[in-house]
Amino acid sequence: MKGLNVVILAAGKGERMMSKKSKVMHEIMGKPMIGHAVERAEELAPDAVVVVVGYGREGIEGYLKDTGVLFSLQAEQKGTGHALLTTEHLLKDGDVLVLYGDVPLMEGPTLRAFLASYEETGDITFMVTDVDNPKGYGRVIMEGDIIQRIVEENDATEEQKMISTINTGICIIPRSAFPFLKAITPDNRKGEYYLTDICTIAAREGKSVRGYRHNKALEVLGINSRKELLLANMAMKDRILDNLLEKGVTLLDRNIYISPSVAIGKDTVISPNCHISGKTTIGEGVVIGPNSIIKDSIIADNVIIKGFVSIEGTSIETNAEIGPFSRLRPETFIKEKVKIGNFVEVKKSILKAGAKASHLSYIGDSEIGSNVNIGAGTITCNYDGTKKHKTIIEDNAFVGSNTSLVAPVRVGKNAVIGAGSTIAKDVPEDALGVTRAPQKNIEGYSSARREK
Ligand code: UD1
Ligand code: CA
């Protein structure tokens, strides 16, 4: 193709969303709709991508600032035809593919096939599809594959409303057809300049407008309401799950949320109700128990996650075991064969190979050496009310249950901490650190009390 511009229309408010923010900033599987559209556009390697903004433009421009897209301001939303015309000064040589910011499920191969078909004729081409329920869409009146007219829902007669061929919104406008755009008038119920009116104008001038059929109604779903937003989320989620199944991941249920940005290796098994998002990479042969939330984390091969865990910003190395009911917070590094058990919270800490914290602990701002045993109820007192301090426990140390480690503090290699201690001073290598008060037994105490 000699040159290609992609214009994405996204200036409308989207009244039917009943929302304060612009419609195209609503997310589908964790990414704003407009992000999906821009991704599809960029895959075509066009000479320019222009996004038409208006309502909520700050949000959209902020979100897209690191992409190479150009913005065209449509200050007043006078219709899709008007929106396209605002971009003229930003366009490079070549024809214009128009995408709608609220049609986010479109797939790359579909667009490439559409462009290829356009190249054969060079005619204005609209992508159309047949649907069971055409309500709300523009109805396409065709003879063979030539479009006579597209009638919007508001302007359609009862008879026209029965037409099940609808306009997906996606179209390609040759540059030579731009004069037709300028001839569009707002004489319709909504008083808008409808891009779709280019069909009647071109026909009047003896130019044919082609309808390209793409009969995958779900892919061209336009999002106008929260109900359609939910449908789109479910459809994209299913697509992601299907893709993982094809790559050799086992899913024990469809009720699993995985964002498109997540990579998962083969033979990993994921249980129901897991929510995995952000920049997360999961290796091969990992087992993830039910109700686990994992975000922005790296999980190596053969890790076992026993379920009901919350893991964020954490790196976990092979053969580690986490959970159930553990919480791993950002900047945590779990090395190989570490065990983190129930009701253990770890923040900004490293646990080296083979270390164990099996029950009820808080480990924050700490460095835990290899094969260290952290007893039940161990707490690092990392915060003095103003600053955070570090706890260092060297290799092979044994921390007895119910220990408070008042940071900054260091426990040396092979040291032992007696259960119930409050450790506020360093414990040297190989030593026993204990702060327990001596035990006093009062003989006959209980029977004396009963006699009173
Ligand atoms: C539009 C089409 C309809 C098609 C449907 C497919 C027109 C006139 N109608 O209807 O034939 O079946 O999409 O989903 O084109 N926008 C602007 N500026 C404007 C108006 C709209 O940028 O002045 C943007 C919106 O932000 C949105 C897109 O264009 O992303 C479509 O607008 P919308 O109002 O949702 O059109 P529909 O009524 O759905
Ligand atoms: Ca729409």
Reply yes or no on whether the pLDDT at 71 is more than 70. Answer: yes
Asked if 359 is an active-site residue, the reply is: yes
Determine contact, residues 70/89, Cβ cutoff 8 Å. no
Which phi and psi angles does 154 have, rounded to 5°?
-60, -30
> Whose alpha carbon is nearest atom 17 of ligand 1?
11
Average pLDDT, the chain: 96
pLDDT for residue 104:
93
Confidence of residue 374 (pLDDT cuts 50, 70, 90): very high
Domains delineated in the chain: 4-220 (3.90.550.10), 226-433 (2.160.10.10)
Q: DSSP assignment of 100-152, as one string?
A: ETT-TT--HHHHHHHHHHHHHH-SEEEEEEE-S--TTSPEEEEETTEEEEEE-
User: What average pLDDT score do residues 316-328 get?
Assistant: 98
pLDDT for residue 100:
96
Confidence of residue 17 (pLDDT cuts 50, 70, 90): very high
Q: What percent of the chain has pLDDT over 70?
A: 100
Q: What CA–CA distance (Å, rounded) separates 260 from 275?
A: 12
Determine contact, residues 266/249, Cβ cutoff 8 Å. yes
Question: What spacing in Å lies between the alpha carbon of 51 and ligand 1's midpoint?
Answer: 14
- Kindly identify the ligand whose nearest atom is closest to the C-alpha of 9: 1
19 Cβ inside 6 Å of ligand 1: no
- Report the predicted TM-score, pTM, of the whole model to 2 decimal places: 0.89
Q: pLDDT tens across 113-162, in order?
A: 999 999 999 999 999 999 999 999 999 999 999 999 999 999 999 999 99
Question: What spacing in Å lies between the alpha carbon of 24 and ligand 2's midpoint?
Answer: 10
Confidence of residue 215 (pLDDT cuts 50, 70, 90): confident
Residues 6+ apart with CB under 8 A from 447: none
User: What average pLDDT score do residues 169-196 get?
Assistant: 96
pLDDT for residue 172:
98
86 Cβ inside 6 Å of ligand 1: no
Question: What spacing in Å lies between the alpha carbon of 230 and ligand 2's midpoint?
Answer: 15
Reply yes or no on whether the pLDDT at 57 is more than 70. Answer: yes
pLDDT for residue 1:
65
126 Cβ inside 6 Å of ligand 1: no
Given the DSSP bridges, would you call strands 70-73 and 95-100 parallel, antiparallel or unpaired?
A: unpaired
Confidence of residue 410 (pLDDT cuts 50, 70, 90): very high
Residue 452 CB: number of other CB atoms within 10 A?
A: 4
pLDDT for residue 452:
84
Buried b (16+ CB within 10 A) or exposed e, 70-98: bbbebeebbbbbbbbbbbeeebeebbbbb
Q: Which token pair is 260? A: 């498109």
Q: Which of 24, 28, 80, 154 to mutate to test the pocket of ligand 1 (most atoms within 8 A of CB)?
A: 80
56 Cβ inside 6 Å of ligand 1: no
Q: What CA–CA distance (Å, rounded) separates 170 from 8?
A: 10
pLDDT for residue 67:
96
Q: What CA–CA distance (Å, rounded) separates 36 from 28?
A: 8
Given the DSSP bridges, would you call strands 287-288 and 269-270 parallel, antiparallel or unpaired?
A: parallel
Q: Which of 6, 7, 8, 9 to mutate to test the pocket of ligand 1 (most atoms within 8 A of CB)?
A: 9
142 Cβ inside 6 Å of ligand 1: no
103 Cβ inside 6 Å of ligand 1: yes
Q: What CA–CA distance (Å, rounded) separates 2 from 175?
A: 12
Q: What percent of the chain has pLDDT over 90?
A: 97
User: What average pLDDT score do residues 297-313 get?
Assistant: 98
137 Cβ inside 6 Å of ligand 1: yes
User: What average pLDDT score do residues 101-118 get?
Assistant: 96
Q: Which token pair is 245? A: 């199944």
- Enumerate residues with CB within 5 Å of ligand 2 (an ion): 102, 222, 224
Tell how far CA 326 is from the center of its chain.
23
Reply yes or no on whether the pLDDT at 13 is more than 90. Answer: no
Closest approach atom of ligand 1 to CA 152: 11
Question: What spacing in Å lies between the alpha carbon of 317 and ligand 2's midpoint?
Answer: 46
> Whose alpha carbon is nearest atom 36 of ligand 1?
80
35 Cβ inside 6 Å of ligand 1: no
Q: What CA–CA distance (Å, rounded) separates 126 from 197?
A: 12
